Amino acid sequence: MPSGTPEPEHPFVVLGVSGGIAAYKTVELVRRLRDQDYHVAVVVTAAGEQFVSPLALGTLASEPVVRELFVPEGGPIPHTRLGRRADIVVVAPATADVLGRYAAGLANDVLTATLLATSAPVLVCPAMHQEMWEHPAVQENIATLRRRGVHVLEPENGALAGGDAGAGRLPEIPTIVDEVATILGGHARALMGRRILVTAGGTREAIDPVRVLTNRSSGRQGHALAEVAARWGAHVTLVTASELPVRDHAGRIEVVRVASAASMREAVLDHLDESDALVMAAAVSDFTLSAAPTKLKRRDGVPELHLEPTADILAEAVAGRHAGQVIVGFAAESSDALANAREKLRNKHVDLLVLNDVSRPGAGFDVATNEVVLLDASGEEALSQRSKDEVAQAILARVASLLSRGDA
């Protein structure tokens, strides 16, 4: 049976198999994923074992099949090991039961525990009878998972168990494999060997030793950009004002933690020359102030805060760019969003501008999804609401294309 720890160059795919008749197709799915040079670890539920043999799955997978939530004392905890190690978790087939438990945040078997223990992208491939798929409870669970950034590959129309036909059939295996490749960035590794500089998070300007002037940016989109770029083969420097953890199983992300706009500027300029591209996703404070040396007291009355503009890091980067370097700017707007973004594109002279209208539900700060418009000299492309991982893929696909043109 294949075993061992994968090399960093091989994406780690966790395949969850639950208890539907379509589970028998996962033997072929494991083989196809292995053909893509992925490391495949399989998690199978007790119900899934009624439809497909763990021996068959394990013979083709990269390591022994995980079947139990509990392990002997002192052994590695399966769901945390797999959740942390995964570059993507795929659930195929995803039954109504698994979708419901995942949406509810339950972890009563090894598959749902793994789903809750990972920050990797998750792809669910529902398969069930049409009546079950169309039930309001199932559709509400799907909507909940989508809002949380889960990728959903909807079932196809076709023959179902028991001689029925309709919507509910597991998507064809090549379709699932293609979707996995799209989420992972493809086996070709579009940014292999490139050096990408990414900024993330909202900077903080000290008012006194206790208080800060900041914004609502969580850093999720910037961190997603760094993580996707690393999955696509880039060496990434992530300059972040966020405390979010960074998933970097391949060891390709250098994390530089900063706080203020000035410290972010210093870090960006330190790494700019060595970078093929700068993706300026951070929400940098527009204003700073001279911090009081001690905590301001209420008893002393309302303080006067004298704000001063911070340095324009993006403008400095554009002015100091080297030949062939790609620079991406971001515009977080809450009114007249498109008009303001068009003006920023004209003024900043960046290769690509990403407009984020933070007033739109599901597209603002500290949520798992985003909805953006990509603007460049050739036009505008609106991306519907999707996970921040998927938004990062769309942005970095543009970056890869721009870099390739520069090489031509």
- pLDDT category at 125 given cuts 50, 70, 90 is very high
Catalytic, out of 108, 215, 340, 370: 215
Tens of pLDDT along 144-161? Answer: 998 888 999 999 887 666
Is residue 188 predicted with pLDDT exceeding 60?
A: no
250 in helix, strand or coil?
coil
Residues 6+ apart with CB under 8 A from 94: 16, 18, 124, 125, 126, 127
pLDDT attached to residue 4: 44
pLDDT exceeds 80 at position 9: no
Residue 237 burial by CB count (10 A; 0-12/13-18/19+): exposed, middle or buried?
Answer: buried
Encode pLDDT of 200-210 as tens digits.
999 999 999 99
What digits encode the pLDDT tens for the residues 211-237?
999 999 999 999 999 998 988 889 999
| Mean pLDDT, residues 91-104 | 97
pLDDT at 75: 64
DSSP state, residue 290: P
The yes-or-no verdict on residue 7 having pLDDT over 80 is no
pLDDT at 181: 87
> In angstroms, rounded to a whole number, what is the distance separating the alpha carbons of residues 40 and 4?
11
Q: Which pLDDT belongs to residue 275?
A: 98
36-62 tens-digit pLDDT: 889 999 999 999 999 999 999 999 999
The answer to whether 41 and 87 are in contact (CB under 8 A) is no
Residue 295 contacts residue 303 (beta carbons within 8 Å): no
pLDDT at residue 138 in the model:
96
User: Residue 216 in contact with residue 257, Cβ under 8 Å?
Assistant: no
Write down the pLDDT at residue 165: 63
What is the residue type of 227? E
Give the pLDDT confidence score for residue 407 in this predicted structure: 67
Tokens representing residue 136 in the block: 């309001």
Predicted local distance difference test score (pLDDT) of residue 187? 42
pLDDT for 281: 98
Percentage of the chain with pLDDT > 70?
Answer: 92
Residue 272 pLDDT > 90, yes or no? Answer: yes
| Lowest model confidence (mean pLDDT) among 10-14, 31-35, 320-324, 377-381 | 10-14
Instruction: Compute the C-alpha angle 80/86/88, nearest 5°.
Output: 130
pLDDT of residue 5: 43
Instruction: Please state, rounded to an integer, the average pLDDT across all residues of the chain.
Output: 90
Task: Convert 342-365 to b/e letters by CB count within 10 Å (16 or more is b).
Answer: bebbeebebbbbbbbbbeeeebbb
pLDDT at residue 260, as a whole number: 98
Q: How confident is the model at residue 101 (pLDDT cuts 50, 70, 90)?
A: very high
State the pLDDT confidence band at 6, using cuts at 50, 70 and 90: very low
> Which residue do the tokens 């799907």 mark?
142
Q: Could you give the domains of the chain?
A: 12-184 (3.40.50.1950), 195-407 (3.40.50.10300)
pLDDT of residue 266: 98
Specify whether 157 is catalytic: no
Q: What is the predicted pLDDT for the residue at 195?
A: 97
In this predicted structure, the answer to whether residue 2 has a pLDDT above a threshold of 60 is no
> Region 306-311: what's the mean pLDDT?
96
**Per-residue model confidence (pLDDT) at position 73:** 66
Q: Is the pLDDT of residue 408 over 80?
A: no
Which of 111-115, 231-235, 297-301, 342-346 is the least confident region? 231-235
Q: Would you state the pLDDT for residue 72?
A: 67
Specify whether the CB–CB gap between 184 and 87 falls below 8 A. yes
What is the rounded average pLDDT of the residues 23-45? 95
